[in-house]
Chain A
Amino acid sequence: MAILEAENVIKLYRQYDSTVTAVDRVNFKAEDGQFIAIIGSSGSGKSTLLHIMAGLDKPTSGSVRIRGNDLTKMDKDELSRFRGQFTGFIFQKHNLIPQLTALENILVPTIMCNKEEYKYEEHLKKLIKILGLGDRLHHLPSELSGGQQQRVAIARAMINRPQVLFADEPTGNLDRANADEVLSLLLETKKEIGQTAVMVTHDLTIAEKADRIYKMDNGRLLLFRDENGQYMRNSFEAETDKAKM
């Protein structure tokens, strides 16, 4: 069953006198529990698409549904509550709140969704253990390394047990060793919770670990590798394949 669906999503930006098409008629579907990677060069529109699918931004046209709920039809408050309950987002730049400690940053979604401690306590312990943050919980973000900050960001995205996890180049600012570590932690946590994950990356090595890989090119989304490990030979085949989806 498709947990996440995007249909004919278009995102246009006005830049001075011209209009830039960041996302061009994208159709996308993710099944429950799948791990999907979106690759592409800088400026291809992959982050924009991810933001739209996560309900952080509004498409110019088209619709995005999570568990059948159309995000584009929700009012802002409803959408905020929906994000808190059903989605988690890992930003490329961590986006931790500087005045809050690592633990407090992790707990921000629980506070925003008014979850009481007993509802997430066990899960928090598990996350801290998996992500190895036990001894850094009471440090401010400025006192943490890049890898540690990203781990805090992952924990924050997962604390509410979201059904869909969106990750925007979670390893983009990390060196290879740290990137591998963070990725394996992410996958381990995802497996533990059993959620759907959509990750944007420009690193093919990392994308290879996904069930399916899409490629974003000039705003168009093309299937790059399917669940069976079969690579699409050219964009025509990719388009055809996409039409079959």
Chain B
Amino acid sequence: MSDLSYRIKSSIRTAYKSIKFNFRQFIPFFCIIFFLQVGVGVILSVKNRSDAYEKNIIRDEYRVHLVLYNLNDAQLVTVRKYGYDNNNASIYRIAEEQQVLDRFDDRRTDVRISLIGDDAKEQYKLFKARYFGLILSYGDGEPLSYYETPALKEKTSGSALFSGLSLFLFLLLSFGLLTAIYTIRINNYRFEYGIYMACGADYRKLIENSVSENWVLSFFSFLPALAVWTAVSSVICGKFFFPTFGIILADILLSSTLSALSVLLPMLVVSKIYPLQHITAADNSNYVVSPRRSRDLLKAGFGVYQRLSVFRFRKYYVRIIACACAFTVAACAVYYGSYIGQEDMSRPYPSFTLSFGGSLDYDPEVSEQLRGFEGVKMTFKKQSEVGGYFNSHLAVKDADATLGSDFVGCPGLGKNAVCHDRMEYTAFDREVLDYVSQFDVDGEPEKALEGGYVVICPSRYNSKQLEIKPGDKVYIAVSFTEKEGAEVSKGELNMLSDERLLRAELEIYDYRYKEMTVAAVINDMPTGENMPVYMCDADFKEITGKEVAYRSVDVYCDGSMTKDDIETLEKKIKNWAGVFGDVSVTPTHLAADLEIEKGIRIPDVLKATGIVLACCAPVIWFFSETVFYEKRRNEAQLLSFLGAENREIKKIYVSDALVNALISFAVTAAFSSLSVAVMHAAANRIAGEAMYYRFSYPVVLITAMSLSSALISAAAVMIAYFRFIKGESGQTDRLFDETKV
């Protein structure tokens, strides 16, 4: 124990001395650890606040924990009767009963139940164990339909996932940053590590020293970080928020662990090199040109060789660019995530789904009545068939297919035709037209109410597959016959899928095509695996062979409606549906979920995180360049000693600064833009049919970051120059004093 305490004490003491003496060189680490502590603190604080907010919303929004649907009278009596447990203490109460009529005009009741007690989840378990079976036994043999409200769940939204991902991403990048900067530091202090190793330091001891340094820095950066993260969290949360003890402890543990882990790899590299190489590398590192090259340099004149800094130190430049870019890219991706989050929340969502059973269809008359309810903004119905499932495909001219789309040659229509079978033929009438019209549509979609026209969204997974415009012709395979001489093996065909299956089918069958004209093109409809192709009912029947009969419809409410308004509308629709008989109305409960999401302000948090990450890139440039040019200071002194005038040395620094500015601007702008484009494509791909995200290029952010990177990388060089000028007098002897590192 005493051995351990001695080791800790001596390591901390050595680290403290090292930091105190070389504080300027430790500023980057101080800043990164400071950022790390602030970042982790902010994420944890915001998560804490989001959880609290979510719970408040749930408490306010959901007065009930459970809704039991369509109970018959016997079941209702049972629920009413057993509202007490064995100790005669109530475990639930009926908050509300709503009576509806089913298709046989029998009375049914929806019952909203509020569980009593601090631990709703436990009470719910008890409720389920005791009463579910009982209620079912009085039923009509149908399963019990019920809905567990978010009040029963600890976390209803994606806040936990969001916080976890943010934290993981932040820690990962900080780890990368610390590792990269530590590697830069090692290159500057190889002499010291060489001496330590010559005196017996192994990998473990080197780690001990480095970790101690990071921990000493963490100790000093913690209080300022706490102040900053409290301020930032308060701004994000909209009110003063002082972190809890748990958050503070988690912040300390996470930042300390990460700062310790970040030295493992650089120190492993150090420990694998013989100490003499470290010691001599430090001796020679200031004279960055070899004797032979120095001679060339003198021959060529000062500056010529020097101006090739980027090439000479290419490894360093690759490292710094990769490091700074990682943060830039992450910042842009996170910032773009905020835009996606914003879009996500603004998307319309259905409040109920109506399902029609038996012989009842959702016909135009029913549709008119449903859409006549006050508060119903839009309805969405869909009847579709995917071409690939019944050996049909849609063909176009090969010039219409975009680069990278997986359309295959269509021999039946000539060599310039290509086709695909992942086409979702969808019936189209006035109600569907209303739905389609909410998107960005080119052309006249109403034409497709007549035969021979289609409305098409030329995308799959939100990625454009066809360059098609209104008036273009498409060909849909209506029927097929086996080609003469073709040997059809159903078994073999069944083994194939997707593109290979389509190719095989095209070889085996002759198709009859129906020429259709594109009436309109939908630009921003969310799409999944299949490309939506809308056509009138007659065409739909001709192509798919199926009658149009809608069995369900989604009802979208007006965005200004409150949860209570939606509940009232739900009751009205249920009573109305009771008249028709076999219609079930299922609420989606998306309104409250969205309310919670809005309350957590995920886009704002993402924006703030993006800005913090964006700030890291210039910081890396600045500090890395400062350290780098500090190391090269003696090079300038050597040149000065060899006869170069300050004017000539200044040229080297200025040209370095310009090259730096140019490279950092170009790289930051390029990679930031790329990250946004990739993020957009990935989000659309993942969202599929759920959402289509419009592309919005964050011009201001990327320009600001590129400019700041350029300015800071140039400023870092010029600061180094001014430091050189300032400290030049009386320091030339430093060249010969090998003891100073």
| Chain A residues with a Cβ under 8 A of chain B | 16, 51, 56-58, 76-78, 80-81, 83-85, 89, 91, 93-100, 104, 108-109, 111-114, 116-117, 141-142, 149, 156, 160
| 13 A–B contacts from the bound complex (CB under 8 Å) | A16-B292, A77-B271, A81-B200, A83-B197, A83-B275, A84-B201, A93-B739, A95-B191, A95-B279, A97-B192, A98-B740, A104-B17, A114-B10
A156 touches B199 (CB 8 A): yes
Complex Cα gap A65–B446 (Å): 93
Complex Cα gap A112–B201 (Å): 5
Complex Cα gap A3–B626 (Å): 48
B199 touches A109 (CB 8 A): yes
Complex Cα gap A91–B283 (Å): 13
B200 touches A109 (CB 8 A): yes
Complex Cα gap A149–B658 (Å): 43
B739 touches A98 (CB 8 A): yes
| Neighbouring A residues of B200 by C-beta, 8 Å | 80-81, 83-85, 109, 112-113, 160
Complex Cα gap A27–B710 (Å): 58
Complex Cα gap A58–B204 (Å): 21
Complex Cα gap A174–B596 (Å): 77
Closest B residue to A92 using CB positions: B738
B169 beta carbon closer than 8 Å to chain A: no
Per a CB cutoff under 8 Å, which of B10, B11, B17, B202 touches A77? B202
| Neighbouring B residues of A98 by C-beta, 8 Å | 21, 739-741
Total count of chain B residues near the partner, CB < 8 A: 39
A95-B195 contact, Cβ under 8 Å, with A77-B202, A81-B202, A114-B7: yes
Quick one: which of B694-741 are within 8 Å of A by CB? 738-741
| Neighbouring B residues of A89 by C-beta, 8 Å | 198
B276 beta carbon closer than 8 Å to chain A: yes
A51 touches B276 (CB 8 A): yes
Interface mask (B7-47 → A, CB under 8 Å = 1, otherwise 0) = 10011001001101110000000000000000000000000
Within the complex, the shortest CB–CB distance from A177 to chain B, in Å, comes to: 21
Per a CB cutoff under 8 Å, which of A94, A99, A108 touches B22? A99
B313 beta carbon closer than 8 Å to chain A: no
B196 beta carbon closer than 8 Å to chain A: yes
A94-B201 contact, Cβ under 8 Å, with A76-B271, A112-B196, A116-B6: no
B203 beta carbon closer than 8 Å to chain A: yes
| Neighbouring B residues of A117 by C-beta, 8 Å | 6
Quick one: which of B256-307 are within 8 Å of A by CB? 271-277, 279, 283, 292
| Neighbouring A residues of B11 by C-beta, 8 Å | 111
Quick one: which of B366-403 are within 8 Å of A by CB? none
A84-B739 contact, Cβ under 8 Å, with A56-B275, A76-B271: no
Contacts A58-B274, A100-B17 given; 5 further ones with Cβ under 8 A? Answer: A80-B203, A81-B200, A95-B191, A96-B739, A114-B6
Within the complex, the shortest CB–CB distance from A241 to chain B, in Å, comes to: 30
A99 touches B271 (CB 8 A): no
B2 beta carbon closer than 8 Å to chain A: yes
Per a CB cutoff under 8 Å, which of A57, A93, A108, A116 touches B196? A108
Per a CB cutoff under 8 Å, which of B2, B195, B272 touches A108? B195
A76-B192 contact, Cβ under 8 Å, with A112-B201, A114-B205, A141-B739: no
Complex Cα gap A113–B192 (Å): 16
B3 beta carbon closer than 8 Å to chain A: yes
Closest B residue to A162 using CB positions: B200
Per a CB cutoff under 8 Å, which of B3, B195, B271 touches A97? B195
Closest A residue to B203 using CB positions: A77
Within the complex, the shortest CB–CB distance from A205 to chain B, in Å, comes to: 25
Most buried by A among B18, B273, B739: B739
A111 touches B279 (CB 8 A): no
Closest A residue to B278 using CB positions: A56
* Secondary structure class of chain B's binding surface, majority of residues: helix
Closest A residue to B270 using CB positions: A76
Per a CB cutoff under 8 Å, which of A57, A80, A141, A142 touches B201? A80
Within the complex, the shortest CB–CB distance from B736 to chain A, in Å, comes to: 11
Complex Cα gap A89–B14 (Å): 21
Complex Cα gap A160–B192 (Å): 19
Complex Cα gap A199–B231 (Å): 63
B18 touches A99 (CB 8 A): yes
Complex Cα gap A76–B203 (Å): 9
A56 touches B276 (CB 8 A): yes
| Neighbouring B residues of A100 by C-beta, 8 Å | 14, 17, 21
A111 touches B272 (CB 8 A): no
| Neighbouring B residues of A16 by C-beta, 8 Å | 292
A57 touches B274 (CB 8 A): yes
Within the complex, the shortest CB–CB distance from B16 to chain A, in Å, comes to: 11
Within the complex, the shortest CB–CB distance from B282 to chain A, in Å, comes to: 9
A95-B739 contact, Cβ under 8 Å, with A111-B14, A113-B200: yes
| Neighbouring B residues of A156 by C-beta, 8 Å | 199
Within the complex, the shortest CB–CB distance from B9 to chain A, in Å, comes to: 10
Complex Cα gap A116–B738 (Å): 31
Within the complex, the shortest CB–CB distance from B450 to chain A, in Å, comes to: 82
Complex Cα gap A100–B22 (Å): 11
Most buried by A among B201, B272, B277: B201
Within the complex, the shortest CB–CB distance from A76 to chain B, in Å, comes to: 6
B198 touches A94 (CB 8 A): no
Complex Cα gap A112–B205 (Å): 6
| Neighbouring B residues of A160 by C-beta, 8 Å | 200
Within the complex, the shortest CB–CB distance from B674 to chain A, in Å, comes to: 41
Within the complex, the shortest CB–CB distance from A153 to chain B, in Å, comes to: 10
Closest A residue to B290 using CB positions: A16
Closest B residue to A156 using CB positions: B199
Complex Cα gap A91–B738 (Å): 12
Complex Cα gap A141–B10 (Å): 20
Closest A residue to B271 using CB positions: A76
Closest B residue to A117 using CB positions: B6
Complex Cα gap A117–B275 (Å): 26
A80-B197 contact, Cβ under 8 Å, with A56-B274, A142-B740: yes
Complex Cα gap A141–B202 (Å): 25
A57 touches B276 (CB 8 A): yes
Complex Cα gap A83–B275 (Å): 11
Closest A residue to B283 using CB positions: A93
| Neighbouring B residues of A80 by C-beta, 8 Å | 197, 200-203, 205, 271, 275
Complex Cα gap A164–B382 (Å): 89
Pairs A-B, 3 closest by C-beta atoms: A84-B200, A99-B21, A109-B199
Within the complex, the shortest CB–CB distance from B198 to chain A, in Å, comes to: 6
Closest B residue to A157 using CB positions: B199
Complex Cα gap A51–B276 (Å): 8
Most buried by A among B6, B195, B198: B198
Within the complex, the shortest CB–CB distance from A155 to chain B, in Å, comes to: 12
Complex Cα gap A222–B292 (Å): 33
| Neighbouring B residues of A95 by C-beta, 8 Å | 191, 195, 279, 739
A108-B199 contact, Cβ under 8 Å, with A80-B271, A95-B279, A114-B7: yes
Within the complex, the shortest CB–CB distance from B538 to chain A, in Å, comes to: 81
Within the complex, the shortest CB–CB distance from B741 to chain A, in Å, comes to: 6
| Neighbouring B residues of A81 by C-beta, 8 Å | 200, 202
Within the complex, the shortest CB–CB distance from B651 to chain A, in Å, comes to: 29
Complex Cα gap A111–B200 (Å): 9
B738 touches A93 (CB 8 A): yes
Closest A residue to B14 using CB positions: A111
A83 touches B199 (CB 8 A): yes
| Neighbouring A residues of B14 by C-beta, 8 Å | 100, 104, 111
| Neighbouring B residues of A108 by C-beta, 8 Å | 195-196, 199
| Neighbouring A residues of B271 by C-beta, 8 Å | 76-77, 80
Closest A residue to B21 using CB positions: A99
A76-B191 contact, Cβ under 8 Å, with A98-B741, A142-B740, A160-B200: no
Closest B residue to A81 using CB positions: B202
Closest A residue to B199 using CB positions: A109
Within the complex, the shortest CB–CB distance from B738 to chain A, in Å, comes to: 5
Complex Cα gap A204–B448 (Å): 107
Closest B residue to A114 using CB positions: B7
Per a CB cutoff under 8 Å, which of B2, B205, B277, B283 touches A116? B2
Per a CB cutoff under 8 Å, which of B17, B18, B199, B739 touches A112? B199
